[in-house]
Amino acid sequence: FEKGLAEFAHRDEVEVVHRSFELDPSRAKGDTALVIDMLAEKYGRTREEAASMEANVAANAQAEGLGYRTEGRDHGSTFDLHRLLHLAKARGRQDELLTLAYRANFAEERSVFDDAVLLDLAVEAGLDADEARAVLADPEAYADDVRTDERE
Protein backbone atom coordinates (compact mmCIF):
# COMPACT_ATOMS: atom_id res chain seq x y z
CA PHE A 1 0.00 0.00 0.00
CA GLU A 2 2.66 2.48 1.04
CA LYS A 3 4.73 1.74 -2.06
CA GLY A 4 1.71 2.29 -4.30
CA LEU A 5 0.72 5.46 -2.48
CA ALA A 6 4.25 6.85 -2.78
CA GLU A 7 4.04 6.43 -6.56
CA PHE A 8 0.52 7.91 -6.82
CA ALA A 9 0.53 11.38 -8.39
CA HIS A 10 -2.19 12.68 -6.06
CA ARG A 11 -0.85 11.13 -2.85
CA ASP A 12 -1.06 14.47 -1.05
CA GLU A 13 -4.83 14.38 -1.51
CA VAL A 14 -5.22 10.93 0.05
CA GLU A 15 -6.39 10.60 3.64
CA VAL A 16 -5.75 7.19 5.17
CA VAL A 17 -8.26 6.24 7.85
CA HIS A 18 -7.47 3.24 10.04
CA ARG A 19 -10.51 1.35 11.31
CA SER A 20 -10.62 -1.25 14.05
CA PHE A 21 -10.99 -4.77 12.71
CA GLU A 22 -10.51 -7.83 14.88
CA LEU A 23 -9.64 -11.02 13.03
CA ASP A 24 -11.05 -13.09 15.89
CA PRO A 25 -13.48 -10.98 17.96
CA SER A 26 -14.78 -14.04 19.82
CA ARG A 27 -11.38 -14.76 21.36
CA ALA A 28 -11.16 -13.73 25.02
CA LYS A 29 -8.36 -11.60 26.42
CA GLY A 30 -5.46 -13.82 27.40
CA ASP A 31 -6.64 -16.71 25.22
CA THR A 32 -3.76 -17.08 22.78
CA ALA A 33 -2.63 -19.85 20.49
CA LEU A 34 0.24 -20.24 18.08
CA VAL A 35 -0.68 -18.94 14.64
CA ILE A 36 0.36 -22.26 13.06
CA ASP A 37 -2.05 -24.15 15.33
CA MET A 38 -4.86 -21.66 14.75
CA LEU A 39 -4.45 -21.89 10.95
CA ALA A 40 -4.37 -25.69 11.03
CA GLU A 41 -7.60 -25.79 13.04
CA LYS A 42 -9.35 -23.03 11.10
CA TYR A 43 -8.62 -24.48 7.66
CA GLY A 44 -8.68 -28.18 8.58
CA ARG A 45 -5.01 -28.65 7.71
CA THR A 46 -2.14 -30.41 9.35
CA ARG A 47 0.32 -28.37 11.34
CA GLU A 48 2.88 -28.96 8.57
CA GLU A 49 0.48 -27.66 5.90
CA ALA A 50 -0.25 -24.58 8.00
CA ALA A 51 3.48 -24.00 8.43
CA SER A 52 3.90 -24.22 4.66
CA MET A 53 1.12 -21.64 4.18
CA GLU A 54 2.90 -19.31 6.61
CA ALA A 55 6.23 -19.88 4.84
CA ASN A 56 4.63 -18.73 1.57
CA VAL A 57 3.36 -15.56 3.24
CA ALA A 58 6.80 -14.97 4.75
CA ALA A 59 8.46 -15.34 1.34
CA ASN A 60 6.05 -12.82 -0.19
CA ALA A 61 6.64 -10.42 2.69
CA GLN A 62 10.40 -10.78 2.38
CA ALA A 63 10.18 -10.05 -1.36
CA GLU A 64 8.57 -6.73 -0.41
CA GLY A 65 11.21 -6.01 2.21
CA LEU A 66 8.94 -6.79 5.15
CA GLY A 67 9.86 -8.88 8.15
CA TYR A 68 7.54 -11.81 8.85
CA ARG A 69 8.27 -14.50 11.40
CA THR A 70 6.51 -17.83 11.15
CA GLU A 71 7.70 -19.60 14.29
CA GLY A 72 6.45 -18.73 17.75
CA ARG A 73 4.02 -16.03 16.62
CA ASP A 74 0.79 -16.09 18.57
CA HIS A 75 -2.80 -15.23 17.78
CA GLY A 76 -5.31 -13.71 20.16
CA SER A 77 -7.70 -10.85 20.83
CA THR A 78 -6.55 -7.51 19.42
CA PHE A 79 -9.28 -5.57 21.23
CA ASP A 80 -6.88 -3.91 23.68
CA LEU A 81 -4.52 -2.96 20.86
CA HIS A 82 -7.43 -1.34 19.01
CA ARG A 83 -8.40 0.57 22.15
CA LEU A 84 -4.84 1.88 22.45
CA LEU A 85 -4.89 2.81 18.76
CA HIS A 86 -7.91 5.02 19.47
CA LEU A 87 -6.00 6.72 22.28
CA ALA A 88 -3.09 7.15 19.88
CA LYS A 89 -5.43 8.63 17.27
CA ALA A 90 -6.69 11.15 19.83
CA ARG A 91 -3.07 12.11 20.53
CA GLY A 92 -1.97 12.22 16.88
CA ARG A 93 0.21 9.10 17.20
CA GLN A 94 -1.92 6.39 15.58
CA ASP A 95 0.33 5.80 12.56
CA GLU A 96 3.35 5.43 14.84
CA LEU A 97 1.64 2.94 17.14
CA LEU A 98 0.20 0.93 14.26
CA THR A 99 3.61 0.65 12.59
CA LEU A 100 5.22 -0.48 15.84
CA ALA A 101 2.43 -2.99 16.51
CA TYR A 102 2.74 -4.52 13.03
CA ARG A 103 6.49 -4.81 13.44
CA ALA A 104 6.17 -6.33 16.92
CA ASN A 105 3.56 -8.86 15.81
CA PHE A 106 4.93 -9.91 12.45
CA ALA A 107 8.69 -9.36 12.59
CA GLU A 108 9.80 -9.30 16.21
CA GLU A 109 9.52 -11.66 19.14
CA ARG A 110 6.94 -9.43 20.89
CA SER A 111 3.32 -10.35 21.49
CA VAL A 112 0.68 -7.67 20.91
CA PHE A 113 -1.58 -9.74 23.16
CA ASP A 114 0.45 -8.90 26.27
CA ASP A 115 -0.35 -5.73 28.23
CA ALA A 116 3.31 -5.10 29.09
CA VAL A 117 4.25 -5.22 25.40
CA LEU A 118 1.30 -2.98 24.49
CA LEU A 119 2.40 -0.46 27.10
CA ASP A 120 5.97 -0.52 25.76
CA LEU A 121 4.70 0.00 22.21
CA ALA A 122 2.48 2.88 23.32
CA VAL A 123 5.43 4.61 24.98
CA GLU A 124 7.65 3.94 21.94
CA ALA A 125 4.95 5.59 19.82
CA GLY A 126 5.10 8.69 21.99
CA LEU A 127 2.09 8.16 24.24
CA ASP A 128 2.10 8.94 27.94
CA ALA A 129 2.73 5.75 29.92
CA ASP A 130 0.20 6.56 32.64
CA GLU A 131 -2.50 7.36 30.11
CA ALA A 132 -1.84 4.15 28.15
CA ARG A 133 -1.77 2.13 31.38
CA ALA A 134 -5.14 3.63 32.38
CA VAL A 135 -6.68 2.60 29.05
CA LEU A 136 -5.40 -0.95 29.45
CA ALA A 137 -6.73 -1.09 33.03
CA ASP A 138 -10.23 0.08 32.06
CA PRO A 139 -11.90 -2.38 29.65
CA GLU A 140 -14.48 0.28 28.72
CA ALA A 141 -11.92 2.93 27.68
CA TYR A 142 -12.33 3.45 23.92
CA ALA A 143 -14.39 0.24 23.68
CA ASP A 144 -17.29 2.10 22.07
CA ASP A 145 -14.92 3.58 19.49
CA VAL A 146 -13.67 0.12 18.55
CA ARG A 147 -17.21 -1.27 18.27
CA THR A 148 -18.33 1.72 16.19
CA ASP A 149 -15.44 1.15 13.79
CA GLU A 150 -16.32 -2.52 13.49
CA ARG A 151 -19.91 -1.69 12.56
CA GLU A 152 -18.86 0.74 9.81
pLDDT, tens digit (0-9, with 9 covering 90-100), for 24-62: 888 999 999 999 999 999 999 999 999 999 999 999 999
**In contact, 75 and 40? CB cutoff 8 Å:** no
Check residue 96 and give its pLDDT: 98
> What average pLDDT score do residues 106-115 get?
94
> Greater confidence, 86 or 26?
86
Check residue 3 and give its pLDDT: 85
Domains of the chain: 2-32+76-151 (3.40.30.10)
**In contact, 4 and 53? CB cutoff 8 Å:** no
Check residue 23 and give its pLDDT: 85
Check residue 137 and give its pLDDT: 98
> What average pLDDT score do residues 76-94 get?
98
Distance CA 103, CA 94 (A): 14
Check residue 70 and give its pLDDT: 85
**How far is C-alpha 25 from the chain's CA centre?**
13
